[in-house]
Each structure stands twice: as C-alpha cells, then as structure tokens.
Amino acid sequence: MARARSDSPPLIEIIEKPDFSIEARAMARGQWPVAGMDEAGRGPLAGPVVAAAVILNPARIPTGLDDSKRLTHIEREELFSAILATALGISMASVCAEGIDRSDIRKASLEAMRRALHGLPLKPQLALADGRDVPPGLCCEGQALIKGDQRSQSIAAASIVAKVMRDRMMAGCGRTDARYGFEFHMGYATPRHRAAITTHGAVARWHRVSFSPFRLDAPEIDDESLL
C-alpha cells in the first residue's frame, strides 16, 4: 500500500536566536559582569582583524540582536547605535595585517579579543568567547561557545560592534586608495579585489601578504553578498 504524500515541506529550517540565558545563569552563580567577545575579519586578504567586548545591561537589551552575518547592513547599523546607547561597557581592539602576518590569523583574532576585553570600563567576572578557543591571558574566567553569536546575546552584540567598526575602517581605506574598492568588498577575495591585486599588487600594511599568494586560490565571493 502506497504511503500518502504529505503536503508539508520535507525539511523546515529552524533558525535559533541568541538569548540571555547563559548570562543569566552566570549571574545566578554570582558571576557578574559578563562580557561577550567576538571578532570580524578572519577571512579577508586585507585589513585588520577587529574584536569587540560588550557587557550588556540586562534591563536594556536591544531587540533583534543576532549573529552579525545574519543581519543586513541597515540592521547592523541600527543595532550598533542601540548597543552603544544601552550597554554597560564596550571596548574594541584590532590587530593589523602586519601583526597577522607575524603570527597567524587564529592567534591574531584571540589577541584582538584579549585586548578588547582588557579595555572594558568594568572588570568582568566571566568572558564568553565566540568559537572553540578561549583567548589566553584574560583578566577573568573565560568560556568558549561554538556558534556563540547565535546563542548568546552578549556575543551577538560584540559581533555586531566588531563587524560595523571593521567595515567602517575598510571604507576609510577605500577613500584613501580608490584602486581596490575596499568599501565594496571589505578586503575579501572577491573578483574585483583579486583583479586589483593582479593589476596593482599589494598595499604595504594593508594586505596580508602571508595569505600566500594572497589566497587567490580561495573561493570567490560576490561583492554584493557582503553588503
């Protein structure tokens, strides 16, 4: 006997949104303040890796916090302003392309997060880091959360701050040197960026020359997908 066919979709994608539950459990244990940490710019061929650390105000958490990659440019900008207006503490730090070349992108990302955490106006009791690694040398206990920007609102807030600040820095690079179109691709390996590197070569202190040969063998990214 044939099985009746369902008119429902075979798969339903469930998109989880970050919440404040991890932070609330830490607060119940007496660990407060809690900071979220995240970075932006691990994959590009140019520009710094930028990290942010954010301590949210539990009574004034902006609506709509999410992984910055799941937000539009306008949504990120609006949430960036809301975070700056409501958070108890915000700090940003970066490691430049030369610093990345001297070590590697993983170490540079962790160092940027460590610097951001140490720059907070309040000393946290717990730091939540997006990813698999806790940055070494923190001033408090650290906890790594895989896909943390999709689980913790504090990390999501940090991801938004880091992304917006890095995009603004790359737009500034584009205004300084218009040959590469940094304001369109933010330093990623798009066809436009690859073509500019082929024509003009690397820009000292902007391009990550250790990404040999500028990672031109990496998969191409459309400029429009980064907006």
- The model's confidence at residue 3, banded by pLDDT at 50, 70 and 90, is low
pLDDT tens readout for residues 27-77: 999 999 999 999 999 999 999 999 999 999 999 999 999 999 999 999 999
- At residue 68, the pLDDT reads 97
Domain that holds residue 100: 21-171
Find the mean pLDDT for residues 134-155. 98
Find the mean pLDDT for residues 150-164. 98
SS (H, E, C) 40-82: ECCCCCECCEEEEEEECCCCCCCCCCCCHHHCCHHHHHHHHHH
- At residue 1, the pLDDT reads 47
Q: Does any domain span residue 122?
A: yes
Q: Does any domain span residue 15?
A: no
Q: Does any domain span residue 221?
A: no
Q: Does any domain span residue 212?
A: no
Among the listed residues 89, 31, 85, the one whose alpha carbon sits nearest the alpha carbon of residue 56: 89
Q: Does any domain span residue 121?
A: yes
Q: Does any domain span residue 152?
A: yes
Asked whether the predicted pLDDT for residue 7 surpasses 60, the reply is no
Report the CATH number at residue 46. Answer: 3.30.420.10
Q: Does any domain span residue 134?
A: yes
- The model's confidence at residue 88, banded by pLDDT at 50, 70 and 90, is very high
Query: Rounded CA gap, 81 and 83, in Å?
Result: 5
- The model's confidence at residue 16, banded by pLDDT at 50, 70 and 90, is confident
Q: Does any domain span residue 124?
A: yes
Q: How many folded domains does the chain comprise?
A: 1
Q: What is the DSSP letter of 175?
A: H
Asked whether the predicted pLDDT for residue 95 surpasses 90, the reply is yes
pLDDT tens readout for residues 123-133: 999 999 999 99
Low-confidence winner among 37-51, 167-181, 204-218 (lowest mean pLDDT): 204-218
Mean pLDDT computed over every residue of the chain:
90
